[in-house]
Amino acid sequence: MAWYRAQPIAAFGDRTAEALVKEGKAAVVREYLDFLAQGNFA
């Protein structure tokens, strides 16, 4: 939960996952997490 609310994501202009979801971009966050889960680097 701390990551979701506080960790800025450089690939998304240093916005947090929470901010992206609030902007209606939950799918983008999901794709990003799937990308990382496959062993890729952000």
Q: What would the pLDDT profile of 1-42 be if each residue is shown by its tens digit?
A: 999 999 999 999 999 999 999 999 999 999 999 999 999 988
**Longest CA pairwise span in the chain (Å):** 27
Specify if 26 maps to a domain: yes
Q: Residue 5 in contact with residue 22, Cβ under 8 Å? A: no
Determine the pLDDT at residue 42. Answer: 80
Specify if 6 maps to a domain: yes
Measure the CA–CA gap between 40 and 21, rounded to whole angstroms: 22
Determine the pLDDT at residue 32. Answer: 96
Specify if 10 maps to a domain: yes
Determine the pLDDT at residue 19. Answer: 98
Any idea what the Cα angle at residue 15 is, between residues 6 and 11, rounded to 5°? 115
Determine the pLDDT at residue 36. Answer: 95
Determine the pLDDT at residue 21. Answer: 98
How many domains, the chain? 1
Determine the pLDDT at residue 11. Answer: 93
Specify if 42 maps to a domain: no
